[in-house]
Chain A
Amino acid sequence: MNNLEQEITQKIATIIDTKQLDVLIISDIYNIQYATNIKIPCSHAQTDLRMFALLKKDKNPLVVVPKCWENIVKQSNHNVDVFAYSLKHDPLESAIKIVFEKCSSAKRLGCDDELIPIIISKIIKKEIAELGGKHVACADDIMSARSRKTKMEIKHLKSIAMKTDHAINGFYHHLIADRSKSSMSISENLRIHSLERDIDLEGYNACSRGVIGNSISNIWAYAPKFGFAAGDFTQIGDTIIADAMNNENGYWSNSTRIAIMSEEMSDEQEIAYKHLVELRKILCDVLKVGRRCCEVYKDAVEKAANAGIEIIDGHALGFNVGVSPMEGPFLSLGDQTILEKNMIFILDGLVKYKSLLYRSRDTVLLEINEVKVINDYKSWKEPYFALNTI
């Protein structure tokens, strides 16, 4: 068992102890990955094929998967016991049958079924009732554990956050203001420059996209080709907003950075970017261990308003990142979660200036008396400036 697995196993064991569980049944794919280090890249899209993990104290995790995924599971983690079902019968029924055969003697069964489809949750509850067991809700406990990162998780998240920033810079380095580029070309090159830095090959949510010029008035421009963008071309002086989400060792980065197709900003860009920098500073100042997310949000909104920064009403100003690219807690009006040491937040900087939306995402680690930005390959006090010409 490697260090990461040991750390997570300890966290899961704590949940099992605290809740006095005989077994913890995990159904959410991100939770499964967290608890077992097993990731099937298409499992969120191919939902007719279900997987479950069963966790008992001092035992190897037990994973139930369709036979077609059996070997990749075994390759991903040698310390799990794999039980695979064939497609002879209905996949969900087959999976559930194995799950409950493996916990037939359990009396207290923890579940994360708040996070999964109603239909599966109903089946799990029915099976537990038939066993004569007690259903114990554990979704919040797992999400809470996920939000406080371990030493190895921090190491992985720092690595991928910095690599992604490096990749964005690596691509920006090719920008020459008088050589126009399409948003599609920018999107492609962001991904290529990430892959060149040894990130994992990912489909689906490995989002990388460039939004340019006046298209930045839409956060998700170019619908439905969000990640491929379009055939619009940069003009000299344009703003480029690059989003990149990358995965390495099962952990995600989620970054946004701005480049200017010029060696200097226009007056409008200057003001908008200054607002982004100020907003980052405000967020880093108000983000403190022991405060509630909603307090941080309110404080930041008030300070931004005082500084004349137009932010979007109701837009959450941050979220966690880990085995998924976006997860709670959220820096929002409603989230009462108390900030703790070793949480890693994506600060979702978004300001409006003259109908355009300028965005920048920093990744920060919360320490007792400090907020550390961990994706600053370069200083983002200024955007990336393209050379005017060569």
Chain B
Amino acid sequence: MSRMNDISLSVAEKQNLGEKIENKMKSNGFDALLVFGSSNITYLSCGIVFPYLDQKVVQPVALYICYKTGKRIIVCTNDLADIPKQLNWNGEVVIYNLNQQTPELSIAEVLKNYITGKVAIDENYMTTAQIKALKKSINGLVTIGGDQVFDDLKLLKTDAEIRLLEIACRMGDRGFVSALNHSEGAALDALSYPLWEYAERFRVHVGEYGGSCVGNMVVVQGEDCKELYARCEPSAVLNKPGFVRLEYSLHNSGYWVTGSRTVYLGQSNQHAEKVWENNQTLKNIALENLRPGIKSSEVYNAVRQSSEDLNIPFWGDIDLGHGVGTKERERPFLAPYDDTLIAEGMVIVLGVYTYGNDNELICNKDVYLVTNGEPRLLNWYKSWNDLYVLHGTSARHG
């Protein structure tokens, strides 16, 4: 099988990641963990993905692992119970029924049969209602915050995780190219092309190319392009010559990447080309600073300094990038507040929002693996370094 079609973790890769996690947990004195956050469940279970957990479309799921006893349990409602099996989970699955007043109390009533003593929990996800329910049900439960350890673990990716992220990048780029291919046959002609369809074509093609899910999906043109996000009016069509930007996130088998791609609708001009070039200039400065041993905040500061020196203003209300993994935004954040040291093995999304001809926000995000030398581009499928012009007046080809 082609390396790029091998879209999930192999047994050996899961084992490797599992050992890394276990060693870290043990070295921090954690004998057991109990997590409810979707990204923690996927990461700590080494690849089990549940649908729409963050959005609460399904009832809560818990992952409990005890390194002393070797017990590994996923606790979920009946409707979700076959998912771990579909994904080759080698631990137990325990079903809970909603037989208590709340789902939190119901899941706690089942967990009490398995949990004893001290357990590391994800306080960044677990709700107050949930911890209260657990403490009510489990005598002598002692919890310790495990978030720092979980986050530290996620900072540096294994080779297999990098592979899944690289595949996610390719899925995203192929999805975006497909959206362009569909729309450029009709953009600006009398038939017009709905703005929502531009975004939807991206989503659909990510799925067709093997992606697991598309998350964020925002498309902006004209005045709206001056904002990071704006509502996409159902009747809006691609009809405003100028910059059009798509913000997106997607995952491949639980491994998320985010993206922002800007194109120019209609015939571009020298000014548009120039502002795009400026955007690339600042992005490349960020990239040059993305080196092991540099603080994340210093990457941001280097861009800020260059922005002043070169008189290329950038939008400073958002970070210049962030880590990706089993969550679409992870540490480190390329922002003034984050002093995390950049290290080999981090996978970071990088993009600078600069201003277009009419103050539109333009951005081109790519994903990089930090190495001891130059960062390795994981979004290699197509270069976006030159401004992409979206133009078409032919009959719609579908």
Contact = CB atoms under 8 A, between A and B. Distances in A.
Nearest to B147: A119
A314 B78 contact: yes
B204 interface: yes
B253 A119 contact: no
B359 interface: no
A326 B56 contact: yes
A117 to B, nearest CB: 5
Contacts of B194: 195
B317 interface: yes
A290 interface: no
B135 to A, nearest CB: 11
B129 A114 contact: yes
A118 B131 contact: yes
Nearest to A30: B56
Of A88, A117, A229, which is in contact with the most chain B CB atoms at under 10 Å from its CB? Answer: A117
Given A75-B230, A184-B208, A204-B216, A88 B337 contact: yes
B128 A116 contact: yes
Interface stretch (B101-109, B152-160, B283-291): B101-109
Interface residues of A, number: 82
B101 A118 contact: no
B355 interface: no
A91 B64 CA distance: 30
A314 to B, nearest CB: 3
Contacts of A316: 77, 98
Contacts of A198: 234-235
Interface string B54-85: 11111000000000000000000111101100
A220 B83 contact: yes
A173 interface: no
A199 B234 contact: yes
Contacts of B197: 195
Contacts of A100: none
A205 B123 contact: no
A324 interface: yes
B211 interface: yes
Interface string A222-265: 11111111000000000000000100000000100000000000
Nearest to B228: A68
Range, interface on chain B: 35 or more
Contacts of A221: 86
A118 B126 contact: yes
B203 interface: yes
Contacts of A76: 231
Contact of B249 (A42, A70, A115): A42
B79 A220 contact: yes
Contact of B216 (A42, A220, A326): A42
A245 B57 contact: yes
A121 B132 CA distance: 12
Contacts of A187: 207
Interface string B220-243: 000000111111101100000000
A41 B316 CA distance: 21
B140 interface: no
A219 B79 contact: yes
B328 A139 contact: no
Nearest to A337: B101
Interface stretch (A152-160, A276-284, A328-336, A373-381): A328-336
B144 to A, nearest CB: 12
A47 to B, nearest CB: 7
A358 to B, nearest CB: 14
B276 interface: no
B211 A72 contact: no
Interface in B186-233: 194, 196-197, 199-200, 203-204, 206-208, 210-219, 226-232
Contacts of A254: 57
B99 A333 contact: yes
A197 B165 CA distance: 35
Contact of B56 (A118, A195, A324, A330): A324
Of A66, A88, A314, which is in contact with the most chain B CB atoms at under 10 Å from its CB? Answer: A314
B360 to A, nearest CB: 13
B82 A118 contact: no
Interface string A282-313: 00000000000000000000000000000011
A268 interface: no
B57 A313 contact: no
Contact of B55 (A46, A184, A201, A204): A204
B272 to A, nearest CB: 23
Interface in B14-59: 49-52, 54-58
A114 B249 contact: no
A157 B8 CA distance: 39
Closest 6 CB pairs of A and B: A314-B97, A228-B207, A332-B98, A205-B55, A203-B217, A67-B317
Given A312-B78, A314-B77, 17 more contacts: A45-B216, A68-B228, A72-B230, A75-B230, A117-B126, A117-B127, A119-B123, A201-B234, A204-B216, A222-B86, A223-B83, A224-B51, A224-B254, A245-B57, A314-B99, A330-B103, A335-B102
Interface of A: 30, 40-42, 44-49, 66-72, 75-76, 84, 86-91, 113-119, 121-122, 139, 184, 187-188, 191-192, 195, 198-205, 207, 218-229, 245, 254, 312-316, 324-328, 330, 332-336, 350
24 contacts: A30-B56, A41-B216, A41-B218, A42-B328, A45-B215, A49-B329, A75-B231, A87-B316, A87-B318, A117-B123, A118-B126, A191-B200, A191-B204, A192-B204, A219-B80, A220-B51, A220-B79, A224-B8, A224-B253, A313-B97, A314-B78, A325-B57, A333-B98, A335-B102
